[in-house]
Amino acid sequence: MISADVLIIGAGPAGLQAAIHAARKKVSVVLVGKTENSALAGTHIENYLGIPGKADGSEILRVGSGQAEGFGCRMLRENVISAARKDGGFEIMTENDTAIKARAVILATGISRVKLGVPGEKELFGKGVSYCAACDGNFYKGKTVAIIGGETESAASAELMTAYASKVYWVAKDIAASERMIRKAADAGAETVRASAKAIIGEDKVTALELDDGTVLSLDGVFIELGARSSADLAMDLDVMPEMDDSIKVDSSCFTGTDGIYACGDVTGKPWQLAKAVGQGAVAGTSAAEWVRNNVSE
């Protein structure tokens, strides 16, 4: 069990800046997340104050991670799979089964791509296409389904669906989930198919999934589970109700309205800009550290 005064979920610019500001307030800080999942990774920035030309987003994240660690933040490069309130604080579980106990939490999860963008997806939503295995698994008892996505949420969903469906394909070209989660899905009976989805086929309901290698899988349901556990789901685990567009409302101190929980960066809504993420990160890190210092007795 790891303990922290302030736990930050998300390793993008908002989370890293929050880590720097919280750590400088002399509280213990743990950050959980993968920098490569940040929207900044792989992009170029030319509208950030003081950085001329086109700055490499991945390099900003790499340097920022080093700065956060330099100020004493502990970094865990993995995804969070669940969060809960516990013993007056919070407990977070990661994909490697690491439990982290925290007094305050900063949600800096960014926005994740939810839609796959393939033919048939929009037309067959609610007719065999689903974005929530936990919600809709029960409708597929004894049926054949595919889970699409290569990150932790798809692995968890593939494992979950083996409890309902008679056959579960886990369709992913590249798999970034932890070895532990891959093994759990395989042990439960999910069959891994290393390909990308090309089209979802069906008239009034889903009947098949076409893959980029030409294979066509006959099935009844397609669950699209891209990325890590969504910020909206994590927020609800912690009693923070997201807006209908999945953003999390905060006040000027980045406080969510739920004691001990702050949010910053793209997850708080538009504009989705580096400058805003960094600014809110500084505010959220400071606010969370001050809240811990003012409200938690040793």
Partner 1 sequence: MSVIEVTDASFDGFVGAKYAVVDCWAPWCGPCRRIAPIIEKLAEISAGEIAVGKLLVDSNPATSRKYNITAIPTILVFKNGKLEGQIVGLNPGLTAESLKDTVLEM
Which residues make up the interface to partner 1 (CB under 8 A)? 125-132, 134-136, 138-140, 205, 221, 232-233, 236, 241-242, 244-245
Rounded to 5°, the CA angle 161-162-168 comes to 85
Radius of gyration of the chain (CA): 20
Residue 250 C-beta: closest distance to partner 1, Å: 18
Question: Toward partner 1, which CB reaches closer, 37 or 231?
Answer: 231
Q: Which of 250, 223, 253, 15 shows the shortest CA–CA distance to 133?
A: 223
Question: Toward partner 1, which CB reaches closer, 161 or 274?
Answer: 161
CB atoms within 10 A of CB 205: 12
Contact between 107 and 113 (Cβ < 8 Å): no
Residue 245 C-beta: closest distance to partner 1, Å: 4
The dihedrals phi and psi of 213, each to the nearest 5 degrees, come to -95, 10
For 252, half-sphere exposure in the C-beta direction (CA atoms, 13 angstrom radius) is 0
Retrieve residue 163's tokens.
């409890």
Q: Which residues contact 252 (CB under 8 A, 6 or more apart)?
A: 283
Contact between 250 and 263 (Cβ < 8 Å): yes
Retrieve residue 135's tokens.
């919600």
Contact between 38 and 83 (Cβ < 8 Å): no
Question: Toward partner 1, which CB reaches closer, 236 or 275?
Answer: 236
Question: Toward partner 1, which CB reaches closer, 71 or 131?
Answer: 131
Helix or strand run (H / E) with residue 105: strand 99-107
Rounded to 5°, the CA angle 147-153-159 comes to 60
Question: Toward partner 1, which CB reaches closer, 170 or 223?
Answer: 223
Question: Toward partner 1, which CB reaches closer, 9 or 45?
Answer: 9
Residue 129 C-beta: closest distance to partner 1, Å: 8
Residue 166 C-beta: closest distance to partner 1, Å: 16
Residue 107 C-beta: closest distance to partner 1, Å: 15
Residue 136 C-beta: closest distance to partner 1, Å: 5
Q: Is 272 left (phi over 0), alpha (psi -120 to 50) or beta?
A: beta
Question: Toward partner 1, which CB reaches closer, 194 or 270?
Answer: 270
Residue 9 C-beta: closest distance to partner 1, Å: 16
